[in-house]
Amino acid sequence: MTTQQFTGAEMVVKALAALKVKQIFGYPGGTVLDIYDALFQQSDVEHILVRHEQAATHMADGFARATGEVGVVLATSGPGATNCITGIATAYMDSIPMVVLSGQVPTTLIGDDAFQETDIIGCSRPIVKHSFNCRNVEEIPNIIAKAFYIARTGRPGPVVIELPKDLLMPMSKGEFHIEIDVKMRSYNPSIKGHHKQIKKAVKALFEAKRLVVYSGGGIIIANASELLTELVEKLDAPITNTLMGLGGISGTHKNFIGMLGMHGSLEANKSMANADVILALGARFDDRVTNNVKKFCPDAKIIHVDIDPTSISKTINANIPIVGLLEEVLQQLLDELDATNFTPNKEERTSWWQQIQQWRDVNSISYVQEGEQIKPQRVIEAMYKITKGEAYVCSDVGQHQMFAAQYYPFAKPRQWINSGGLGTMGFGLPAAMGVKLAFPDSHVICVTGDGSIQMNIQELSTCLQYNLSVVIVSLNNRSLGMVRQWQDMVYGGRHSSSYMESLPDFVKLAEAYGHVGIQINHLDELDEKLTQAFNIKNRLVFVDVLVDEKEHVYPMQIRLGAIDEMWIKKGVKA
Amino acid sequence: MRRILAILLENEPGSLSRIVGLFSQRAFNIQSLTVAPTEDPSLSRITIATSGDDKVLEQIVKQVNKLIDVIKITDLTERSHVERELILIKVLAMNDKSRTEVKRITDIFRGSIIDIGKQVYTIQLTGDAEKLNAFVETLSNETEIIEAVRSGCVGIARGEKALRV
Ligand SMILES: Cc1ncc(C[n+]2csc(CCOP(=O)(O)OP(=O)(O)O)c2C)c(N)n1
Ligand SMILES: [Mg+2]
């Protein structure tokens, strides 16, 4: 009896089905046509056809961020693969689980500069968690299983698989075997925190007079937000989130003191600067948080919990490093606190909270709606009210991103989706599409700018094809606002190439793609028209809001200063 | 400070390039690098001589460890160890005087002449980096060096300690 034989292309699709993949995002081309043919002949795995491979990666990325599952991309060799690079780098910087299947020229041609040959493994090497070459048919299923395992475990990240065409074609067939339970001697990501370190941490938490919890994207990835909230309440500590960590605890929780860093709240940055103990959870002391590392939180003892040892003591030295999965370590910390009957010292906490209240009273996240023009912050507030704070908000990159982060308090993890690490303009729309695909019944907003939206505008066509009724809210300031803000503040107001002088009519553009376009020009029509936009079901709505082009994002850290040295508004220092 | 790192990793396509790429991407220094399969052909062992302060070294070790292919990494310079490097060196040996002198120096350093041409000697010498440097310098005072190739260092811990799966 002979067992059934499959082509490599069939194995790819069977492996994806075995891994319970429902949707993949891609674009066809010569080297992957066999996979497309195999996809055509089955119904387990749906293929979503984008209009540019970069968008496929961001779509897979948005899908992964919202669901926690691995996002899968399929691209042809050469230009298809290189178009994925920005999306792979975006996922890498934010630790997003993604598997990119890239075609490759036949093994017999590799190295010959064959048509559409690029060394995609080499190109992507610095921006992947790992990558695989396939060199024989029967190894394909297990390579895919391994790629998934690596992508989603430990500190997640993108994995690239290169599939040469001759392995996919009918000429080479083999038996299909897949081991879903992957074991690797060189990679074992499940780790508990070291018991001694947990004890040390709890001792420091006991002794802390001015404690701050600083949590990042790791909390979201680890699905640890409930444990985090429990810990924060037990400690009665103020908590700040990084841009990536927003939603890790509810944005309206009484202990939440806002985002920290470059455009963080004064109270968050002040609390950090004055803390005697900082409990850092799944955050990495990024330069957009710390400002000048030499002046960073001089009095603080730092407890740093992260699954990735390289993040610990990389930029800021940790006094108590704890390597481990956050969900494990948080539980260990809670258990140890219970075992030692922890209660915060009432007097010390009260005086710390009183101090924080004084910083809160400065009301650093605020703006004045004056004059004719709509302030961008006002749009985000309206958006928040209309969606009752329950929407998925997917952002592009620029001022609008910071306004969204500041003025839309996220109740839950995975609600806030943005490219924090790489800052990729063009991320917002495709990411929102990936989220909408996963949660068709939820409000999914793409907050964008007149610059960013044009970096993947072609995806409006994909939205029509798959009926992805995202609400695009473009804070149209007729400029590359964030660039212009820096030019105003640092480059003597010389607006070199930061104007968008030939903007399209976005309403007509949306209509040309078969969608609904709405322009909002006056403050008095903002709430009504925006509500109307959110009430349109089953259509994509592009809301082009003309906002004040002179508005800057405040507060803002002063360059080279300490974490809490900030401009509160134009010309006013904290 | 000079450090010698020993790395045990999967002997798979691309694993060496990931190590080399990591060093250049993060601006870590490589003074020398050697690689070969181990007695178990599924594994490779790499020895890297590098330099950096404690903070840099900590990052290097962590970053290398983070690579999926890497099974173990150790800093041999942390404790007592043996390190060896091989040099093959071709020098001018035209007349009796210089031949005798080259032979004498080679003997003193416990090297061996492994090939002789009409006008050249090729010498092999093993030792640690310092010994090799001293040898090259002494030779260059006596005759002209035509070509030299060094293997880069390999190292192993002294005593019971071993780097294995
Ligand atoms: C792909 C890419 N190119 C360049 C930049 C640099 N950059 C950051 S913000 C920004 C302006 C964004 O303009 P817009 O989307 O209109 O947003 P605004 O700041 O006006 O709200 C630019 C050019 C970037 N982040 N990404
Ligand atoms: Mg703009």
pLDDT at A537: 92
Cα–chain-centroid distance for residue A237? 26
Maximum separation of any 2 CA atoms in chain A, in Å:
82
pLDDT at A115 over 90: yes
Record the tokens describing residue A497, joined without a space: 């190439």
Question: How many angstroms separate the CA atoms of B108 and A482, rounded?
Answer: 69
Q: Which residue in A310, A311, A313, A314 has the most chain B C-beta atoms within 10 A of its own C-beta, making it the best mutation to test that interface?
A: A310
The Cα of A270 is separated from the nearest Cα of chain B by a number of Å equal to 28
Q: What is the mean pLDDT of residues A220-227?
A: 98
Are A92 and A128 spatial neighbours (Cβ–Cβ below 8 Å)? yes
Amino acid at A458: Q
Q: How far is B45 from chain A (nearest CA, A)?
A: 14
Share of chain A above pLDDT 90, in %: 97
CA distances (Å), origin B138, targets A338, B91, B119: 70, 12, 19
Beta-carbon separation of A150 and B68 below 8 A: yes
pLDDT tens for each residue of A489-519: 999 999 999 988 899 999 999 999 999 999 9
Q: Which of A313, A94, A125, A156 is nearest to B59 (CA)?
A: A313
A574, pLDDT greater than 90? no
Q: What is the pLDDT of residues A539-560, one digit of tens each?
A: 999 999 999 999 999 999 999 9
Q: Which of A157, A55, A38 is nearest to A465 (CA)?
A: A55
Closest CA relative to residue A430, chosen from A185, A183, A36, A86: A86
Largest CA distance in chain B: 57
d(CA B92, CA B147): 10
Contact A402, A263 (CB under 8 A): yes
Domain spanning A195-360 has what CATH number? 3.40.50.1220
Mean pLDDT of chain A: 97
A377-419 pLDDT, tens digit each:
999 999 999 999 999 999 999 999 999 999 999 999 999 999 9
Q: What does the H/E/C string look like for A175-189?
A: CCCCCCCCCECCECC
Q: Does domain B2-78 have CATH number 3.30.70.260?
A: yes
How many CB atoms within 10 Å of residue A27?
Answer: 24
Residue ranges matching CATH 3.30.70.1150 in chain B: 82-154
The closest alpha carbon to A162, from A31, A21, A355, belongs to A31
Q: Looking at chain A, which residues constitute the CATH 3.40.50.1220 domain(s)?
A: 195-360
Average pLDDT over residues B80-90: 97
pLDDT at residue number A1: 57
What distance in angstroms lies between residue A447's CA and the mean position of ligand 1's atoms? 13
Q: How many residues does chain A have?
A: 574
Residue from A380, A432, A452, A404 nearest A541 by CA = A432
Q: Which residues of A are catalytic?
A: 53, 115-116, 165, 482
d(CA B134, CA A460): 70
Is residue A48 a contact partner of residue A70, using CB atoms and an 8 Å limit?
Answer: no
Average pLDDT for chain B: 96
Residue A123 has pLDDT above 90, yes or no: yes
Higher confidence at residue A370 or residue A263? A263
The matching CATH number, chosen from 2.40.37.10, 3.40.50.970, 3.40.50.300, 3.90.1570.10, for A376-553 is 3.40.50.970
> Residue A501: what pLDDT?
86
pLDDT score at A531: 98
Give the CATH class of B82-154: alpha beta
Average pLDDT value for residue range B1-17:
95
Kindly state the percentage of chain B with pLDDT values over 70: 100
Q: What is the pLDDT of residues A156-206, one digit of tens each?
A: 999 999 999 999 999 999 999 999 999 999 999 878 999 999 999 999 999
Indicate the residue type of A349: R
Taking phi first (over 0 means left), then psi (-120 to 50 degrees means alpha), and beta for anything else, what does residue A388 get? left
Distance to chain B for A368, nearest Cα, Å: 44
A28 bridge partner residues: none
Q: What does B88-100 look like in DSSP terms, one character per residue?
A: EEEEE--SHHHHH
Does this model's pTM top 0.95? My answer is: yes
Assign domain A6-174 to its CATH superfamily: Thiamin diphosphate (ThDP)-binding fold, Pyr/PP domains (3.40.50.970)
Residues with CB under 5 A from ligand 2 (ion): A 449-451, 477, 481
Structure tokens at B54: 């404690």
Q: Which chain A residues in 282-341 lie under 8 Å from chain B, judged by CB atoms?
A: 308-310, 313-314
A490 burial level (CB within 10 Å; 0-12, 13-18, 19+): exposed
Percent of all residues in chain A with a pLDDT value above 70, rounded to a whole number: 100
Q: How much is the ipTM here?
A: 0.94
Q: Which residues pair with B108 in a beta bridge?
A: none
A142 touches chain B (CB under 8 A): no
Give the Cα separation of A82 and A497 in Å (integer).
27
Ligand 2 centroid–CA A497 distance in Å is 12
CB–CB contacts below 8 A, A to B:
37
Which amino acid is residue A232, in one-letter code?
A: V
Alpha carbon A118 to chain centroid, angstroms:
28
Overall average pLDDT of the A294-312 stretch: 95
State how far the Cα of A230 lies from the Cα of A223, in Å rounded to an integer: 13
Residue A129 at interface with chain B, using a CB cutoff of 8 Å: yes
Residues near A363 by Cβ (< 8 Å), separated by ≥ 6?
Answer: none
